[in-house]
A and B are shown apart, each in its own frame.
Chain A
C-alpha cells in the first residue's frame, strides 16, 4: 500500500481518526506521518499566548516594548508596570503608547486648559480659540443661536487680527 499523502513511499503508519461519528482510516509513510504529528502537537508557548493577548488588549505595548527614554532611562514597559513616567520628555518619546492610554483615561488627548504665560501669547490664543469653538458646537447642539452668533463673532475677532491663524 502506498502513502496517501506523498503517493511515493510505502505506507507503514496506519491512523484511525474519529471526527464526530465518522471514522476515517489513514495510511501514511513514516515521514508524512511525522509531519502531520508535528502539526497536531504544535501548541503555542506561554510567551506566544501572552503576546497575542497583549496585541488584542493593548497593541501599543508590543510596539513600544523596546522603546526607552534617552533622558531619564526608563523604558515604556517600566512605565506600564509602575504607572509613573520618569521625565517630561517621556510624553514625547512614549507618545505612540501614551495616546491610546490618555484617550481611555480622559476621553481626550488634547489639552485645552490654562497656558503658562511663558508659553507665549500665540499658544494662549490658540487654546482660547479651541475653547470658543467647543462652546460654539455646544451652543449649536442646544440650538442656542443667539449665543452661537456671539461666539462666532468672538472667534472672528480673535482669529481676524492674525491672518496666519488657521
Chain B
C-alpha cells in the first residue's frame, strides 16, 4: 500500500469502520473502555517546534516521516499530511483519537501515520517532533506498553533522540520530560456519578499524583460519564513504575463502580430499569438529539447492557455510537458541513437506523 495515500480516499475509508480499541473486549471492558499510552520524542540537534523555522520544520517532518516508513512499524501504515486536510477531516481524526486537538489546530507542516486497526498512531510535528500513541480495548496497560516500547525501539535505531542521562527524553514542555510518557485509562463510571461518589474517587486519585480528564484529554468537558485517568509526573519514576501506580488504582475504582451499581439495584431496581429503558427508548424514537444528550443516553444504555437489563445490543455497537455520533463523524457521513441544528437531526436519524437494524434482525 502507498505510504502517502490520497487523503480523501483514506479518510472516507475510515467512516465505515471504527478502531479496534472500541471493540469492547479485554479485561474489565464493562467499565474500562480503553488503555492508551503516548510517548513524546524529539530529534537531537534541532530546536523544539515553538522555535523551529519553516525550513527546520520541513526537515524534521521529512526526516521522521521517512524513518517511520523505513521502520515497518505495522504493515498497513499510511501517512496523512495534515496541512492538506480540511478542518472537518481534522475534527474527524481528533474524534477517532488518532490526533490530538492541538495537532488538529496546529500550523505549518505536520502529519500523522496510522494503521488500519487504528491501534497505533504517530503524530509528527505536534507539540514535540514525534508523539507515538498506542490504544487498546479494555484494561491492558502492560500490553500497550509492550507494543509502544517496541515501536519506540525500532524508531530509536534510526532517529537520534534528544536525551540526557539526568533528565531523560527532552521535551518542549518540562511537564513531559523524563519518560515522555503519558499512560491513561478511559473509564465509564455512571453509577459513581449518579450516587455522587465520583468526587471522592477523584480526590483520592489526585493524591496519588494522577489526573482526571474528560473524553478528549486536557481541558475537555466530562460527557457520558467517561473519564480518563493518567499520570501527571513523568520524571523520577520508570515507565513500569508509572504503569504500576495506575494499575494499582484502576481495580479499586472499577470495584467501587460495581458496588455503586449493585447499591442502585438493591435500593430501587424498578427505578434504575426505568431510567435505562427510557434512555434506550429515547434513542429509538427521538427526531433530534444534541451531542450532550446522546452522551447521557448512551451512557445509561451502556450501563443497562452491563447490568443485563438490555440484552439485544452489543457493547461494540454502543462504544462505536459514542464516536460515530460526534460532529466530525456526522459531517463526514453526510459529506458536507452542517449546523448544530442539522447535526442534531442527522444524529437522531443515524442512531434510530442503527437500532432499527438490530430490531429487524431479531
Contact = CB atoms under 8 A, between A and B. Distances in A.
Interface stretch (B80-88, B165-173, B187-195, B297-305): B165-173
A80 B168 CA distance: 21
A86 B173 CA distance: 9
| A interface, over-half SS | loop
13 contacts: A86-B48, A87-B46, A88-B162, A91-B177, A98-B174, A106-B234, A111-B236, A113-B239, A114-B168, A114-B238, A116-B161, A116-B163, A117-B157
Q: What is the size category of the interface that chain B forms with chain A?
A: 35 or more
Interface in B125-149: 127, 149
Contacts of B160: 118
A126 B45 CA distance: 25
Interface in B173-188: 173-175, 177-179, 181
Interface of A: 71-74, 82-88, 91-92, 98, 101-102, 105-119, 123, 126-127, 131
Instruction: Say whether chain B's binding surface is mostly helix, strand, loop, or mixed.
Output: loop
B44 interface: yes
Contact of B153 (A98, A110, A111, A117): A117
A72 B173 contact: no
B165 A114 contact: no
Nearest to B234: A106
A107 B241 CA distance: 14
A74 B44 CA distance: 18
Given A102-B174, A107-B209, A113 B166 contact: no
A114 B209 contact: no
A158 to B, nearest CB: 15
A4 B173 CA distance: 63
A127 B44 CA distance: 21
A113 B153 CA distance: 14
A86 B50 contact: yes
A86 B50 CA distance: 6
Contacts of A98: 174
Residue from A85, A110, A111 with most neighbouring chain B CB atoms (10 Å) = A111
Given A85-B172, A106-B178, A111-B168, A72 B233 contact: no
Contacts of B163: 115-116, 119
Nearest to A71: B47
A127 B239 CA distance: 12
A72 B160 CA distance: 19
B174 A117 contact: no
A107 B169 CA distance: 17
A112 B162 contact: no
A140 B308 CA distance: 47
A101 B233 CA distance: 12
Contacts of A105: 174-175, 232-233, 235
B278 interface: no
Contacts of B233: 105-108
Given A83-B173, A111-B178, A111-B179, A106 B47 contact: no
